[in-house]
Structure 1
Amino acid sequence: MTTKIPVVALIAYPKISPFHFAVPHLVFGAALPEGHLFDLKIVSPDGQPLAAERGMTIQPDGGLELTDMADILVVPGWDDLNTRPDEALVAALTRAHKRGAHVVGLCYGAYVLAYAGLLDGKRASTHWMAEKDFCARFPRVKLDMNALYVDEGRLITSAGTGAGLDCCLYIVRAFYGPKMANKVARTMVIPPHREGGQAQFIEQPMAVSTQNSQVNQLLDYLRENIGKQHSIDDLAERAAMSRRTFTRHFFKATGTTLVDWLVNERLQQTRELLETTSMPVERVSELVGFQTPLAFRQHFKKRFQVSPRDWRKTFGMNAAAEPD
């Protein structure tokens, strides 16, 4: 254990989400038999109590002056993505990073770091629902939507909800090592560590229709017959087009190739089957048209970074009995 207890400044703001506030509060405020690992300070912009969601009130330890003594500054989410942080907060975060402190934006808290200009030219993560908005607002930030959390030169950002826990435990590991981080995780009854590079569980819906009526009819046919094998020549004939014309029209309408579209649609349907049934993986693979269970597992792992069995464990209504 380090001789000096690191100081964590947990920055609150009006209408803060109690959940996002509670995640770093639990991790950095944890008391172990060895004592507190961090000196947690709750900070409000003016040092005064403020209202959180659902009528809760947060009592701070002080104002932004506390950030000047902090080793770690944490912004847990952000209430309004259209609202820039005030200049006093931006200045506090900038000063802290320049003097060597870790500056952390959990979930939408990444917006605060981006508004401050701290993430320009750097990788970052945030909740997957904000991907388009974040990229449009901050084109100089290299958003990584395949990461649970990203550490770029003491600028640490995370994806949403559960990834915030992973990110905070990562910081515990950085300061105290894996043994102590595992101990903190056990007190919270959560898995001890997930690598930051794991993919977020992102919804990736396929387009229901396009502006091309012929292609729309074909997509409907493919969805209804997803378990069959389809060749480009057969589908071109069905659409009354040459192979070359069909390929061009399909790509223009969908933005992808037929092979990639079929893989994506099959993966979407396998997720639904994994989540709502307990049928064996082999049967799931067969129903959606993967030629072998191995091919299905490989495509699924490549796309979602977990196995079909692990997906079912996380999201399924029924526990899977078969080995994967």
Structure 2
Amino acid sequence: MQRPHRVVVLVLDGALPLDVGIGAEVFHPETGFPYEVSTCGVTAGTVPAHGDFGFAVPRGLDALAEADTVLVPGYAPPGRPISVKVREALRTAAGRGARIASICYGAFALADAGLLDGLRATTHWDAADKLAKRHPQITVEPNVLFVDEGAVLTSAGAAAGLDLCLHIVRRDLGVGAANEIARGLVTAPYRAGGQAQYLPRTNSAAAQGETLAATREWALKRLDQPLTIAGLAAHARMSPRTFLRRFTEETGSTPLQWILRARVDTARELLESTRLSIDHVAREVGLGTASNLRLHFRRLLDVSPTEYRATFAGRNKP
């Protein structure tokens, strides 16, 4: 029997409680998926959190030596330098092949350890300028939910940390597993990494980020049908021009880009959970033909539908 994938959450002084809880919830073995999650600190004991309480952690930095994934939650104040011991432990874990991920201000710990040099990264929008100025060798992207650079991943604020962890599950186990965990957490199963963070705007309606939620849900139920900007705008009771601007503000992508990604993700889930032919899957998600589905799979995922099915079919449960 394959051993579980070990996720270790590194709790640093001033840890943000919600950030710490995200990894514990997404990767908890009670979800039924092959993860094992634990916490550690610089040393075993109680780590003071942001607020009037703390986290009891059973182990110190030695726990990182056993981690397949190290998750660093945010901590306050943002940008506080980490100790040499923490830097070395993170570098050692990355050097032996562990995946390293951060939530919110946790990106500063990865940056201080040199793990983001030459890479793209993000953090909470209110600290993005600080991260960029302190580490000019990093390409900081302040207006995205998360950035996946393969072995190193970073996310924006707490809710984006949930998106990042679900993205990791999609990478490991496929769309079906991520969707099932999301349903258990009563959260949206998929928000693309390029979707915009909240940033202050003069238009308060746009800043809410939910003015077109009903239209997006409507579109997701009709992926097998032709979907046009004119039709989506009519559903949202907006002019096409206003709809296009508002949609891009809320999601970080154009409507047609968003629909294409939704179709590919729905195809991924069908390939994981059914024996439908590639042609049938293509028709079900509105991509028409198997060749069209293969084209977009290659472009977005760098694999063919057949290769994807061979990798992920039957892997949703241990």
Bin of the TM-score, shorter chain as denominator length? 0.5 to 0.7
Q: Distance in 2 between matches of 1:64 and 1:13?
A: 11
Q: Among residues 159, 163, 169, which one is paired with 1:172 in the alignment? A: 169
* 1:270/1:105 CA distance change after superposition, 3 Å: closer
Shift in Å at residue 15 of structure 1? 2.4
* 1:269/1:167 CA distance change after superposition, 3 Å: closer
Q: Distance in 1 between matches of 2:5 and 2:122?
A: 24
Shift in Å at residue 305 of structure 1? 2.6
- Give the aligned residue type for 2:17: P
Residue 77 of structure 2 aligns to a residue whose secondary structure is: coil
- Identify which of structures 1 and 2 has the higher relative contact order when contacts are C-alpha pairs closer than 8 Å and 6+ apart: 2
Residue 51 of structure 2 aligns to a residue whose secondary structure is: helix
Does structure 1 residue 294 correspond to structure 2 residue 293?
Answer: no
Q: Distance in 2 between matches of 1:18 and 1:274?
A: 24
Residue pair 2:40, 2:59 contacting (<8 A) in 1 also: yes
- Give the aligned residue type for 1:25: A
Shift in Å at residue 19 of structure 1? 1.1
* 1:154/1:296 CA distance change after superposition, 3 Å: same
1:250 corresponding residue in structure 2: none
2:155 corresponding residue in structure 1: 158
Q: Distance in 2 between matches of 1:131 and 1:273?
A: 21
Deviations 1:193-246 (A, max 9, x none): 2221211121145xxxxxxxxxxxxxxxxxxxxxxxxxxxxxxxxxxxxxxxxx
Q: Distance in 2 between matches of 1:73 and 1:272?
A: 33
- Give the aligned residue type for 1:24: G
- Give the aligned residue type for 2:16: S
* 1:20/1:40 CA distance change after superposition, 3 Å: same
Residue pair 2:75, 2:105 contacting (<8 A) in 1 also: yes
1:5 corresponding residue in structure 2: 4
Structure showing greater Rg: 1
Residue pair 1:64, 1:89 contacting (<8 A) in 2 also: yes
Number of residues of Structure 1 aligned to a counterpart in Structure 2: 231
Does structure 1 residue 128 correspond to structure 2 residue 74?
Answer: no
Alignment RMSD (CA, Å): 2.8
Residue 54 of structure 1 aligns to a residue whose secondary structure is: coil
Q: Among residues 196, 200, 206, which one is paired with 1:271 in the alignment? A: 206
Q: Distance in 2 between matches of 1:274 and 1:48?
A: 40
Residue 45 of structure 2 aligns to a residue whose secondary structure is: coil
Q: Distance in 2 between matches of 1:199 and 1:104?
A: 19
Does structure 1 residue 304 correspond to structure 2 residue 269?
Answer: no
Deviations 1:77-113 (A, max 9, x none): 0222342111111111111111111101111111111
Shift in Å at residue 46 of structure 1? 1.1
1:18 corresponding residue in structure 2: 17
* 1:82/1:194 CA distance change after superposition, 3 Å: closer
Can you give the 5+ residue segments of structure 1 that lack an aligned partner in the other structure?
Answer: 206-267, 277-284, 286-291, 308-324
- Give the aligned residue type for 1:40: V
Shift in Å at residue 303 of structure 1? 3.3
Q: Distance in 2 between matches of 1:113 and 1:39?
A: 22
Shift in Å at residue 127 of structure 1? 0.8
Structure 2 length as normaliser, TM-score?
0.66
Residue pair 2:75, 2:106 contacting (<8 A) in 1 also: yes
1:48 corresponding residue in structure 2: 45
* 1:40/1:305 CA distance change after superposition, 3 Å: closer
Does structure 1 residue 112 correspond to structure 2 residue 109?
Answer: yes
Q: Distance in 2 between matches of 1:273 and 1:174?
A: 29
Q: Distance in 2 between matches of 1:93 and 1:203?
A: 34
Residue 58 of structure 1 aligns to a residue whose secondary structure is: strand
Runs of 4+ aligned structure 1 residues displaced above 4 Å come to: 272-276
* 1:200/1:31 CA distance change after superposition, 3 Å: same
Can you give the 5+ residue segments of structure 2 that lack an aligned partner in the other structure?
Answer: 212-232, 254-318
Residue 21 of structure 1 aligns to a residue whose secondary structure is: helix
1:69 corresponding residue in structure 2: 66
Shift in Å at residue 149 of structure 1? 0.8
- Give the aligned residue type for 2:250: F
